[in-house]
Amino acid sequence: MLASLKFASQLLLTGTTSTTAASRSGGKTMSSHVALLEGPSLYESHKRGLRFLTQHLVPSEDGSGFLFIGKARSRVLESALTLHLLRQSERDWRWQNRLRDYLQTHSPQADGLSSLISAAVMGYARPQGVLERLRQLMGGLEYARRRKLALLAMLLVELGLITLEEAQVRPEDFSEKAAHRFSQIYCSALRLMYHRKAPQGIDPTADRRFLEESQAANGSWEQQGLLTLLAMMGLGRTHSAFWKGMEYLRGTEREDGGIPFIDNQDVWVNALAGLTLQAHGLYPDVQDELASFLAYRQQVNGGWAFTDGVAQTETDSTANVVQLLLQRDRNRYAPAVDRALEYFRGLQRDDGGYPTYEREGDSEITMTANVLLVQSMCVGRHPELEPDLRRACQYMLERQRSDGRFEKSWSVCETYSLFRVLWALDAYTATTEAPQVETARARALRYLRESQNENGGWGQGSGDPSDGLSTAYALASLGLLKNWFPVEQVRIHRGVGYLLSQQDQGTGAFVSIPDLVGPRPIPFDLPLLSTVFSLLALSFVWPGGPMENPR
């Protein structure tokens, strides 16, 4: 067994760890801020969090390395739609009962539209204000609003909650900015659903063929629950692909009886977990195993998808993986990194920004920040990247709002995009003079000061209740900003105190309300993420780091 895996096992069994940063200080008196960050409470909290994380470390099935397993939680929307299809088919009453039990328990906590759909599927009184709920959900959406509105409206038509006329959708709405594979599958499925309601003017042949050809061997479409459900609705119960899709959904059923949006995001989550270990200087052998696992999953175009079995690559997973590979062994992984750099160069848009999936999509702040960070790490060996970096930096600076915020993208936390931009700007200014960056940093610091709550934490937006993930992103941001501006020690002290209060003392997990959305703007939960980002945030504010590398 690898040395670091032995150490992880020892940590789980004994709770022991290597020398603390406090002991390395020689016992000298420190400021109150440093004393807090090296005190026993934080040290023990970090140790518990690390123990929880290592409990999720397993060998990959294909032998390419080790990975952290972090499954997505079930979600009301997919669970309700699965029950809807089972009821229509008059199949598997036991599964239907499990889904009903799940929905009765979890629907009250879901977003307004999902709870409405759940009530309709379970046969409660016809809900009122359906379209108003839909408009409320779509209120803050910044990308592909027309297409997402048409998608959810067609679901309401499918469930009989509104008529096609009330939905006010047209077939061309489904293809609005449908540049990537996920949106193209949605488009074909929705066109087929529309065709059944209004057969004139649509030839279903090409859409049906595309869905047939894009179904994976395990019955899913791109390893996604909602996408699979829509494709099944498009093809109909008489098509054999429908029942293959149903078996895929059955395989994703969670212990609580619900169905998740996706089963996992193993590539993305493991890149983040690896970056967290690197930030703390922990478990070098585990870092090697993670790097091996991730490098093996690079696709032909140079990018990475969010998990195995997904054809669509994206900039988010790719940038995080490349950062991990560069920091682990840039010489060993140079060929993979170079292929990824070419992948990025093909995605940069005329405005200087980068989209999530394909160049035809909209540029996004967090995607641009992630690419800028890794390109900045490579510019010494690739000086031809300098113009791309300047354009990407300018794109970000021009889109900062006067109050310091940026658009939210795939996280509903305002502090997430701040953290990503600030991290990228640190990497960029390490290689390039960019005096205009100081204004962006100052605005970000002002927002963080003004939005911190009385309990020390931060919420998803200014004035929202504090939560673990928003606070972790804010602390990481302050950790970056304190290298450029005086940041009040008590502010970080209070933030760390709130973050520690969000740790489950029994399991060691840091807990939070979910911040991821998919498809935007519907939230879903990857519970391991709150522990990963909390530990990563502590690395930005903990002087000297929590531990030495285990020997």
pLDDT in tens, the chain (551 residues): 444 445 444 444 434 333 333 222 233 222 333 445 555 588 899 999 999 999 999 999 999 999 999 999 999 999 999 999 999 999 999 999 999 999 999 999 998 889 989 999 998 866 677 878 787 777 766 666 788 889 999 999 999 999 999 999 999 999 877 899 999 999 999 999 999 999 887 899 999 999 999 999 999 999 999 999 999 999 999 999 999 999 999 999 999 999 999 999 999 999 999 999 999 999 999 999 999 999 999 999 999 999 999 999 999 999 999 999 999 999 999 999 999 999 999 999 999 999 999 999 999 999 999 999 999 999 999 999 999 999 999 999 999 999 999 999 899 999 999 999 999 999 999 999 998 999 999 999 999 999 999 999 999 999 999 999 999 999 999 999 999 999 999 999 999 999 999 999 999 999 999 999 999 889 999 999 999 999 999 999 986 544 333 22
How far apart are alpha carbons 515 and 519 in whole angstroms?
Answer: 13
How far apart are alpha carbons 82 and 245 in whole angstroms?
Answer: 10
How far apart are alpha carbons 175 and 146 in whole angstroms?
Answer: 9
Position 430, amino acid? A
pTM over 0.95? The answer is no
Q: Which of 271, 279, 258 is nearest to 306 (CA)?
A: 271
In contact, 499 and 534? CB cutoff 8 Å: yes
Q: Computed from CA positions of residues 536, 537, 538, 541, in that sequence, does the dihedral angle turn out positive or negative?
A: positive
How far apart are alpha carbons 356 and 315 in whole angstroms?
Answer: 5
The distance in angstroms from the start CA to the end CA of the chain is: 14
Q: Computed from CA positions of residues 24, 27, 33, 36, in that sequence, does the dihedral angle turn out positive or negative?
A: positive
Q: In this structure, what DSSP letter does residue 163 have? A: -
In contact, 78 and 259? CB cutoff 8 Å: yes
How far apart are alpha carbons 14 and 11 in whole angstroms?
Answer: 5
Percent of the chain beyond pLDDT 70? Answer: 89
Q: Which residues does residue 156 pair with via DSSP β-bridges, in sequence order?
A: none
pLDDT reported for residue 521: 86
How far apart are alpha carbons 268 and 137 in whole angstroms?
Answer: 26
**C-alpha angle with apex 456: 441 to 515, nearest 5 degrees?**
70
In contact, 189 and 233? CB cutoff 8 Å: yes
Q: Which of 419, 418, 490, 496 is nearest to 457 (CA)?
A: 496
Cis peptide before 355 (omega within 30 of 0): no
Q: Which residues does residue 259 pair with via DSSP β-bridges, in sequence order?
A: 75
SS (H, E, C) 430-470: CCCCCCCHHHHHHHHHHHHHHHCCCCCCEECCCCCCEEHHH
Write out pLDDT tens, residues 225-241: 999 999 999 999 999 99
pLDDT reported for residue 550: 26
- Give the pairing of strands 66-68 and 458-459: unpaired
- Taking 3-state DSSP, the helix, strand and coil percentages for the chain, each rounded to the nearest 5, stand at 55, 5, 35
Side-chain half-sphere of 536: how many Cα atoms within 13 Å?
29
In contact, 147 and 174? CB cutoff 8 Å: yes
Domains observed in the chain: 35-70+264-541 (1.50.10.20), 75-260 (no CATH)
How far apart are alpha carbons 418 and 437 in whole angstroms?
Answer: 13
pLDDT reported for residue 202: 80
Burial class (CB in 10 A: 0-12, 13-18, 19+), 200: exposed
How far apart are alpha carbons 80 and 90 in whole angstroms?
Answer: 15
3-class DSSP assignment, residue 81:
helix
Query: Cα Rg for the chain, rounded, in angstroms?
Result: 24
The contacts of residue 424 (CB under 8 Å, 6+ apart) are 368, 369, 370, 372, 373, 376, 396
Write out pLDDT tens, residues 63-102: 999 999 999 999 999 999 999 999 999 999 999 999 999 9
3-class DSSP assignment, residue 177:
coil
pLDDT reported for residue 548: 33
- Give the pairing of strands 516-517 and 523-524: antiparallel
The contacts of residue 138 (CB under 8 Å, 6+ apart) are 145, 148, 149, 152, 521
